[in-house]
Amino acid sequence: MAAVGSGSSTAAAGPGVVSAGALEPGTMSAAHRRLKYISLAVLVVQNASLILSIRYTRTLPGDRFFATTAVVMAEVLKGLTCLLLLFAQKRGNVKHLALFLHEAVLVQYVDTFKLAVPSLIYTLQNNLQYVAISNLPAATFQVTYQLKILTTALFSVLMLNRSLSRLQWASLLLLFTGVAIVQAQQAGGGGPRPLDQNPGVGLTAVVASCLSSGFAGVYFEKILKGSSGSVWLRNLQLGLFGTVLGLVGLWWAEGAAVAHRGFFFGYTPAVWGVVLNQAFGGLLVAVVVKYADNILKGFATSLSIVLSTVASIRLFGFHVDPLFALGAGLVIGAVYLYSLPRSAAKAIAPTSTSASGPCTHQQPPGQPPPPQLSSHRGDLNTEPFLPKLLIKVKGS
């Protein structure tokens, strides 16, 4: 579930995914508008389908596959895919590819090892997501997992000295309230649940996953700010570390059981579908997300919550009561408000007024208007901050 590039973040691509750069405002053609809505569909489907498919495979009767092996396989497939894409970029020249990788990975080893920490956290996060989804209904997980917006925002303020608007702070409070209501509904019953599922363990895992997501995303942005590197190179580096660290986690958590039953024990076509979704879904989102602005990403997250809830009703007999509907509604509203650009947030926020009406700055006649807050997506000081599951790497 890890991938890399340059662009604004989104939750859709999965942990460790970094996207290609976003389009500049004012440059959107008819073709780009079509791609924008295609990207919306991709973001919604990938986000919801991954959670639903994991939940489905983890609740089927019979032999259950080892989640740690699925994490490792996703990293291996992602790394191999990025290697093939780099090979294609070098026009099939093995020597040029070898020289490029030697320079980028070994000679510039400091930049390579900078990725070890976020890769470790992303690997932990991927495993925690399996634990959480195995113990929580898909819809409940989808709503609760939006806490990553809160954790990412807090880490961005603490580590990057980034400022948030009053509307964004209010939306974070609304988000926390909505998640708390959903968890209260879950603790109060929320319908029948299998005996082998523990909501307390699931909640702990999803909170830990959100904390690791927020820290890793902001840390990744901080250490790679100003560095160069192609989308696929960064994803390959993350994949290399993710594979090694995933194997270490496999040995530590389930080594004896995997050795006894086999690496691919319990694998079915549905499990392979989850692995492929993790590996290629994140890479696909990394490509299309550059056509989606912040509002569209927030809208995609909201649609994913609705889609996961509807699918959970059909697939898993999930019961939606008024308390869950209220909490999910608050979270959807908070996600949308948080994703609004600062200009829109200021328009919504109340303005100070005087006897002559709203307080505005009058520009002297004949003078050019003052510079506006840049909407360029590379402006770290003015860009509304969204969770860095898709990390920006400047210069790529």
User: In the predicted model, what is the mean pLDDT of residues 335-361?
Assistant: 57
Q: Residue 266: inside a domain, yes or no?
A: yes
Q: Residue 75: inside a domain, yes or no?
A: yes
Q: Residue 318: inside a domain, yes or no?
A: no
Q: Is the dihedral of CA 98, 100, 101, 106 positive or negative?
A: positive
Q: Residue 191: inside a domain, yes or no?
A: no
Q: Residue 213: inside a domain, yes or no?
A: no
Q: Is the dihedral of CA 296, 299, 300, 301 positive or negative?
A: positive
Structural domain of 250 = 64-136+230-291
Q: Residue 387: inside a domain, yes or no?
A: no
- Find, among 228, 236, 283, the residue nearest to 86 by Cα: 236
Q: Residue 389: inside a domain, yes or no?
A: no
- Whether the predicted pLDDT of 253 surpasses 80: yes
Number of structural domains (the chain) is: 1
Determine the distance from the C-alpha atom of residue 71 to the mean position of all C-alpha atoms in its chain, rounded to a whole number.
16
Give the N- to C-terminal CA distance of the chain in Å, as an integer. Answer: 21
In this predicted model, what pLDDT tens digit does every residue of 205-221 receive, in sequence order?
Answer: 999 999 998 898 888 77
Q: Residue 69: inside a domain, yes or no?
A: yes
Alpha helices for the chain (secondary structure H): 30-59, 67-89, 94-101, 109-114, 116-135, 138-144, 147-160, 166-187, 199-224, 231-261, 269-276, 282-288, 294-316, 322-339, 342-348
Whole-structure pTM value: 0.74
Pick the range with the lowest mean pLDDT from 56-60, 278-282, 315-319.
278-282
User: In the predicted model, what is the mean pLDDT of residues 154-168?
Assistant: 89
In this predicted model, what pLDDT tens digit does every residue of 164-185 receive, in sequence order?
Answer: 889 989 999 999 999 999 988 7
pLDDT of residue 372: 39
